[in-house]
Amino acid sequence: MQRRHFLGLLGAAGVSLTTGVAARAASSADVRGLPDAGGVLFDATRCIGCRKCEAACNKVNELPQPDKPFDDLTVLETVRRTSDRAYTVVNKYVPEAGQPPVFRKIQCNHCLEPACASACFVHALTKTETGAVVYDPSVCVGCRYCMIACPFNIPAYEYHKALTPRIMKCTMCYPRLLEGKLPGCVEACPKEALVFGKRRELVTIAWGRIGSHPGRYIEHVYGEREMGGTSWLTIAPKPSFAALGMDEHLGTTSAPELTSGALTVVPAVAGVWPVLLAGLYAVTKRREKVAAAEQQEAVAAAVAKTTADAEAKLTEKLAKAEAEAAKRTAAEVKKALEAAAKEAKDAKGAADGEDA
């Protein structure tokens, strides 16, 4: 029991050590990322909630018409999210009662290390050099793991389609970017609340605006480091990003880093388990062999002992029987002799009687 169990416990301990620790061993190379990738800066102090960006996105991407037209601003009374018919929505928030509302545009943030791209098991989502994270419907299986993975809850799915459902999400107008044009929403915004440019330049512009207007903005550029950094950056007026429905507790670890630890276990298990299990098997087999040998020995010894015992018994019995027989013979002889003697005496007596 001991050895087998001990090895088994060792294996379990090994698994727990490897799975619990995020592995950094994936690469020691310094990944520079895509330095010239584009991005968009959204300035929530400029947005007036006119929804022109939604209308432009709908037109450029040839999406179906919504139930309420884009100039109907009453939809802003409800908080919406992206859907299979809307790559982007604008929501209204009232961070402080009595103060004017603040608007925020929601769309794919085109993360630097996208959770969706890392989660997709057919590589249907990829991060391009333009900065856009694009979707290839020709390989998508429809597993919807990207929707689970996205920390911003952006991808939507065409559940109403039976045979050709797609993931629907903002593409940063990738085809337009390739033609040198601006994304549809950026072009349409009348207040230039959306600014397109190289992401690293946008970070500078964002901090510049924060610095030039002390007290107006929250001193943080959302997306600079969240989930490893996103291409879509947001600056907003005080009090907080949380008041605009943005998650302030996402942390700076990118999603691929969260699962890389678990994935590094795979080759380790594939490599070590056969050895471990073969070892266990060998140990088991050896024990069985030893047990079998011991058993055989014990059996042989028992047999030998039994045979010897039996033989001794037999000899003893034989001797006893012989002695018995001899005794009996002697007794018989004695009896016969006595009978003969008696007979002889009788015969002699009869003969003597006649003579007298």
Partner 1 sequence: METGKRRLKRLLIVLVVGVLGGLSVWAVGLGATNGQPDEGKRADTLTIDAMAAYGPLTQPKVAFLHDKHTATLDKQKDFYKKACATCHLTSKEGTMFLGFRRDDAPMTGDTLRETFHKGCIGCHMDMAAAGQKSGPKDGQCKGCHNAAPDVISDWQSLTVDKRLHFRHAATQEKAENKCGACHLVYSEAAGKVVPVTKPEDVPGACVYCHAPTTTTVPGRKPETIRSLRLAVHGQCVTCHLDTAAKGPDVATGPVTCAGCHSPSGQEAIARHSRERVPADADLRIKRGQPDLTMIRPTAAAKPVMGLDGKPVRPVNMPPVPFDHKYHESQNETCVGCHHAALSSCAGDCHTLRGDRKGGFVTLEQAMHDEQAGRSCAGCHAVQQKRPECAGCHVAIKWNIANTDACAGCHMTPPAACAPAEAALVAGPKDKDTAAAAADLAGRLLAGHRTATATFPIEDIPETVTLGSLADTYAPAALPHRKIVLALLAGMKDSKLAGAFHQGDAAVCQGCHHNSPAGKTPPRCGNCHPAAEIPGQSRPALKAAYHGKCMGCHTAMGISGMVVDRTPGAQAVPKATDCTGCHGEKKR
Partner 2 sequence: MSTEQRNTRTALLTPFNVIAAIIVVAGLVITVMRFTMGLGSVTNLSANNPWGLWISFDLLCGVALAAGGYTTSTACYIFGYKRFHGAVRPAILTAFLGYALVVLALHYDVGRPWRLVYPIFYQQGTTSVLFEVGLCVFIYLTVLFLEFLPAALEWWGGFDRLRNVLVKLTMGLTILGVILSTLHQSSLGALYLIAPSKLHPLWYTPYLPLMFFLSSMFAGLSMVIFEGTLSHRSLHHLMDEEYNAGYEDLHFAFAKGASWIMAGYLAMKLIGLAMDNHWSYLATGYGAWWLFEVVGFVLLPCYCYAVGYRDRNLALIRVAAPWTVLGIILNRFDVGLVAFNWRLPSADRYFPSFSEIVISLFVVTVGVLAFRFIATHMPIFYVHPHYKDASH
Residues 202-231 that bind partner 1 (CB under 8 A): 202, 205, 208-209, 212-214
Binding residue (CB under 8 A) for partner 1 from 42, 152, 157, 196: 196
Looking up tokens 């999603």 gives: 255
Residues 96-125 that bind partner 2 (CB under 8 A): 115, 117-124
Residues 249-288 that bind partner 1 (CB under 8 A): none
Q: What are the distances in angstroms from CA 10 to CA 17, 265, 293?
A: 11, 16, 29
Report in angstroms how near the CB of residue 91 gets to partner 1 at its nearest.
15
Among partner 2, partner 1, none, the one that 49 touches (CB under a kind-dependent 5 to 8 A) is partner 1
Q: Which is nearer to partner 1, 8 or 190 (CB)?
A: 190
Q: How many angstroms separate the CA atoms of 73 and 56, rounded?
A: 16
Contact between 243 and partner 2 by CB under 8 A: the answer reads no
Instruction: Return the C-alpha torsion angle 185, 191, 196, 197, nearest 10.
Output: 170
Helix segments in 120-243, DSSP class H: 145-149, 174-178, 184-188, 199-212
Residues 6 or more apart whose CB falls under 8 angstroms from that of 23 comprise 260, 261, 264
Binding residue (CB under 8 A) for partner 2 from 48, 63, 205, 250: 250
Burial class from Cβ neighbours inside 10 Å (0-12, 13-18, 19+) for residue 224 reads middle
Look at residues 218, 193, 149 and name the one whose alpha carbon lies nearest to residue 46.
193
Residues 6 or more apart whose CB falls under 8 angstroms from that of 256 comprise 113, 115, 118, 228
Report in angstroms how near the CB of residue 106 gets to partner 1 at its nearest.
18
Q: Which amino acid, 223?
A: G
Among partner 1, partner 2, none, the one that 198 touches (CB under a kind-dependent 5 to 8 A) is partner 1
Report in angstroms how near the CB of residue 120 gets to partner 1 at its nearest.
29
Backbone torsions φ then ψ of 40, nearest 5 degrees: -135, 135
Q: Which is nearer to partner 1, 37 or 119 (CB)?
A: 37
Contact between 235 and partner 1 by CB under 8 A: the answer reads no
Stretch that binds partner 2, among 34-42, 47-55, 88-96, 247-255 (CB under 8 A): 247-255
CB 182 within 8 A of CB 174: no
Residues 49-108 that bind partner 1 (CB under 8 A): 49-50, 73, 100
Chain Cα centroid distance, residue 164: 29
3 state DSSP class of 296 = helix
Binding residue (CB under 8 A) for partner 2 from 155, 184, 223, 237: 155
Binding residue (CB under 8 A) for partner 1 from 96, 129, 136, 192: 192
Q: Which is nearer to partner 2, 31 or 121 (CB)?
A: 121
Among partner 2, partner 1, none, the one that 48 touches (CB under a kind-dependent 5 to 8 A) is partner 1
Look at residues 60, 88, 91 and name the one whose alpha carbon lies nearest to residue 78.
91
* Tokens (6 digits) for 50: 């006119």
Q: How many angstroms separate the CA atoms of 105 and 40, rounded?
A: 12
Among partner 2, partner 1, none, the one that 165 touches (CB under a kind-dependent 5 to 8 A) is partner 2
Binding residue (CB under 8 A) for partner 1 from 48, 269, 272, 280: 48
Which residues contribute to the site for partner 1 (CB under 8 A)? 38, 46, 48-50, 73, 100, 182, 186-187, 189-192, 195-198, 201-202, 205, 208-209, 212-214
Which residues contribute to the site for partner 2 (CB under 8 A)? 4, 12, 15-16, 19-22, 81-84, 115, 117-124, 139-145, 147-149, 151, 153, 155-165, 247, 249-251, 255-256, 258-259, 261-263, 265-266, 269-270, 273-274, 277-278, 280-281, 284-285, 287-288
